[in-house]
Amino acid sequence: MLSPLAVKQWRRFRSIRRGYWSALILTATIVLSLGAELLVNSRALVVFYQGELFFPTYGAFLPGTTFGLDYDFETDYRDLKRVFAQRGEGDWVLLPPVAFNALENDLKTDSYPPYSPSLRSGHYLGTDSTGRDVLARLVYGFRTAMAFSFVLLAFNYAIGIATGCAMGFWGGAFDLLFQRLIEILNNVPTLYVIMIVASVVVPNFWTLLAVMVLLGWTQMTWYMRTSTYKEKSREYVVAARALGATSVRMIGSHILPNAISVIVTFIPFSVAGGVTLLTALDYLGFGLPPPTPSWGEMLSQGTSHLESPWIVTSVVAAMVVVLLMVTYVGEAIREAFDPKQFTYYE
Amino acid sequence: MTSYFVRRFLLILPTFLGVTVLVFTLTRLVPGGPIERMLNEAAMAGADNAGATSGYDGHGAGALSDQQIEELKAYYGFDKPVLVAYADWLGKVLTLDLGTSTRYSEPVWETVKGRLPISIFYGVATLILTYGVCVPLGIVKAIRHKTAFDNLSSAVVFFGYAIPSYVVAIALLTGFAANLEWFPLGGFVSDDFDDLSGLEKAGDVASHAVLPLLSYMAGSFAVTTLLMKNSLMDNLAAEYVRTAIAKGMNFRAAVFGHALRNSLIPIATSFGNNITLIVTGSFLIEKIFNIDGFGLLGFESLVERDYPVVMGILVISSLLFLIGNILSDVCVALTDPRVKFGSGESGQ
């Protein structure tokens, strides 16, 4: 059951068209990117061979011999399509809209990559300097960045909210101790420290995440501390205490629900921050290990191949569009939670 | 006020010690240190997995000679008990003895010092431009709220807010330097800088500085402008301004005489952090434009695994952060007479 306030906020959010539509488009894009294997992949969606249907997208790879080709490694479905067309025996291959995955190098015999965008070759946004499809890397890079950002957010918020709440609730020495700890963490250049650690320990998705959480969990603590502090002295909490409620109950069913509602307004900005941080790290070469498709790695390729502007243009455009939309959503949510009324003079 | 400053400065000590402990912990990561030994042992145990990690510029083992590793061990005191090593190291840091660069074979402090002027040039220029543009712009936007000018400039500000400065920098570099060739592709000055006359020299530095300065500004422009606008609007709506206007004071005098000073308080809270920008710049922007400043040094040292410089830069930036935060607090205390230590919660 939604509270009347939440309904009102939702109405207000919907009335801000820009943010509402951005939210819809972003959600759709994220959901689509979860099934990216069906849209951008070197594996065919459906193969019809000798009266039998094959769905190679998920699961183990099908060797070329499955379709009467003369090799045991994975079938080249783009090639298979040509072969079937030549044979003209009624077999067919249905390829995804973009028939490349993010890791394969599609090289030509007569020239060196990067190849410029072309409809004929199927590289709609061209390829990067090792012949990998830019669009495919963009799509999978988006998925990586978003996944990373959301997991990072979940950890940072969980730790930040818990710590901040405890600091506001208990106060005293515990509060002072954590204040110092947070101040110390805020006094080191986060990006540089992550890079130092990454230069010694080659990071993967989870180790990189762990380092970032270790340095970044402080984000929400100040806010939670202050709002817990305020809620704690309200009459309804004092009443609950007088009725004999335990600390857990006071926090869990009284303070937290009230203090936490506004946290929603920070989420879009944290998502944008996560994407920005990961991309910066990848750009500098200290992020996720290659050949993980990532926007930062593409930015770095783009800037070192400025004579092939399709690489850098694609990534910059993608980043601008995504970050603008995320920020539109953020502004709309903020507006919905706190419609500002200003006085102004004529 | 005095007691506030005294107590504020006393709190520096635990934070300073904490920061140095953190940095010291990170120094344990350098080659020859305990962390590497642990990693090596782990790698021995799982030697089969080693293949996946090689062949990448940022990662992997670097080429340090045995002698250099011995020097690192001696400087960071890997052979001593942790507490003794920490005390020794702290003593050296406090006397600016940050070790010897393995790449340049000179004291780290000398290497760093050589890069500072360039970063300071960009830092100061950014600072002047940012405040010179943002504060007036914020004021105009607040007074002309919801006019065409406000809406138009809001679009620009919003863009700067949403897009990180390094993406702006890359876009500028691609558009104006690589494609249109209006500006050079990077660097601080041209190669033939020494042959130019005085005026040409100034022009050369300026043409190299346009794009990086725009990128730096993109980083802080939006936040400062919006902060200025919103806090001025809050104050304009406050009762004391309404009273002043109701008494017949003209609007201009009410804004500049009453509302403005109070609106500058939020701006002051972030003022001290500029010191970090001034001195260290941003290594993303310095790398993109290949500006040979403090930030690029930090990045290159890391790629080249010149750990004494890396750790030196980490120490210096952490201390600058610390000083910046104190400076911010001092600025706030100076502009906001309500600040009293320990009453932060009730005063908010």
Residues A144, A132: Cα–Cα separation, whole Å: 17
Q: What is the mean pLDDT of residues B59-70?
A: 62
How many distinct structural domains can be found in chain B?
1
Structural domain includes residue B254: yes
DSSP secondary structure letters along B279-337 = HH--HHHHHHTT--SHHHHHHHHHHTT-HHHHHHHHHHHHHHHHHHHHHHHHHHHHH-T
Q: What is the mean pLDDT of residues B142-171?
A: 85
Closest residue in A to B280 (Cα) is A189
Structural domain includes residue B246: yes
Q: Is A118 on the interface with B (CB under 8 A)?
A: no
pLDDT in tens, A116-163: 787 777 788 888 888 888 899 999 999 999 999 999 999 999 999 999
Is a pLDDT exceeding 50 seen at residue B263?
yes
pLDDT-based confidence at residue A97 (cuts at 50, 70, 90):
confident
- Return the closest-CA partner of residue A48 out of A101, A89, A96, A100: A89
Which of B19, B52, B173 lies closest to A187 in CB terms? B19
Contact A44, A65 (CB under 8 A): no
Q: Which amino acid is at B211?
A: L
CATH number for B266 = 1.10.3720.10
**3-class secondary structure for A207-273?**
HHHHHHHHHHHHHHHHHHHHHHHHHHCCHHHHHHHHCCCCHHHHHHHHHHHHHHHHHHHHHHHHHHH
Cis peptide before A291 (omega within 30 of 0): yes
Q: Is A306 in contact with B178 (Cβ distance < 8 A)?
A: yes
The ipTM value here is: 0.81
Q: Is A290 on the interface with B (CB under 8 A)?
A: yes
Structural domain includes residue A299: yes
Q: Is B50 on the interface with A (CB under 8 A)?
A: no
Lowest mean pLDDT among A211-225, A248-262, A273-287: A248-262
Q: Chain A partners of B317 at a C-beta cutoff of 8 Å?
A: 188-189, 192
CA distance, residue A323 to nearest chain B CA (Å): 6
pLDDT in tens, B268-284: 777 777 777 776 667 88
Three-state SS at A58: coil
Structural domain includes residue A56: no
Is a pLDDT exceeding 80 seen at residue B189?
no
Structural domain includes residue A8: yes
CA distance, residue B199 to nearest chain A CA (Å): 31
The b-or-e profile of B273-291 (16+ CB within 10 A means b, else e) is bbbbbbbbbbbbbbbbbeb
Higher pLDDT, B213 or B30: B213
Q: Is B38 on the interface with A (CB under 8 A)?
A: no
Q: Is B242 on the interface with A (CB under 8 A)?
A: yes
Higher pLDDT, A106 or B32: A106
Q: Is A180 on the interface with B (CB under 8 A)?
A: yes
pLDDT of residue A253: 86
Is a pLDDT exceeding 70 seen at residue B62?
no
Q: Count, in order, helices (H) and strands (E) of chain A.
A: 15, 3
CA distance, residue B77 to nearest chain A CA (Å): 19
pLDDT of residue A32: 92
Q: Chain B partners of A323 at a C-beta cutoff of 8 Å?
A: 162-164, 167
The b-or-e profile of A25-55 (16+ CB within 10 A means b, else e) is ebeebeeebeebeeebbbbbbebebeeeebe
Tracing tokens 């702006």 back to the chain, one arrives at: B168
The sheet carrying A92-94 orders its strands as A52-54, A46-49, A92-94
Q: What pTM value is reported for the model?
A: 0.85
Q: Which 123-142 residues of chain B touch chain A by CB within 8 A?
A: none
Residues B224, B266: Cα–Cα separation, whole Å: 9
Contact B174, A306 (CB under 8 A): yes
As a whole-number percent, the residues of chain A with pLDDT over 90 amount to 21
Q: Is A214 on the interface with B (CB under 8 A)?
A: no
Closest residue in A to B310 (Cα) is A196
Which of B36, B173, B318 lies closest to A303 in CB terms? B173
Structural domain includes residue B338: no
Q: What is the mean pLDDT of residues A316-324?
A: 92
- Return the closest-CA partner of residue B317 out of B291, B278, B274, B280: B280
pLDDT of residue B1: 67
Closest residue in A to B301 (Cα) is A196
Residues B167, B7: Cα–Cα separation, whole Å: 41
Q: Is B15 in contact with A180 (Cβ distance < 8 A)?
A: yes
pLDDT-based confidence at residue B9 (cuts at 50, 70, 90):
confident
Structural domain includes residue A245: yes
Structural domain includes residue A102: no
Is a pLDDT exceeding 50 seen at residue B55?
no
pLDDT of residue B340: 58
Residues A256, A250: Cα–Cα separation, whole Å: 8
Residue A267 structural domain: 4-34+136-342
Structural domain includes residue B10: no
Q: Which 67-86 residues of chain B touch chain A by CB within 8 A?
A: none
Is a pLDDT exceeding 60 seen at residue A194?
yes
Closest residue in A to B239 (Cα) is A343
Q: What is the mean pLDDT of residues B314-336?
A: 82
Q: Is A130 on the interface with B (CB under 8 A)?
A: no
Q: How many CB atoms lie within 10 A of CB A282?
A: 27
Structural domain includes residue B257: yes
Q: Choose from A179, A181, A186, A192 for mutation: most chain B CBs within 10 A.
A: A192
Joined tokens for residue A9:
């906020």
CATH number for A233 = 1.10.3720.10
Structural domain includes residue B18: no
Work out the burial of residue A134: count CB atoms within 10 Å of its CB; fewer than 13 is exposed, 13-18 middle, 19 or more buried: buried
pLDDT of residue B37: 67
Q: Is B96 on the interface with A (CB under 8 A)?
A: no
Residue B167 structural domain: 116-292
Q: What is the mean pLDDT of residues B71-98?
A: 80
Is a pLDDT exceeding 50 seen at residue A34?
yes
Q: How many CB pairs under 8 A join A and B?
A: 153
Structural domain includes residue A250: yes
Q: Is A343 on the interface with B (CB under 8 A)?
A: yes
Q: Chain B partners of A312 at a C-beta cutoff of 8 Å?
A: 170, 174
How many distinct structural domains can be found in chain A?
1
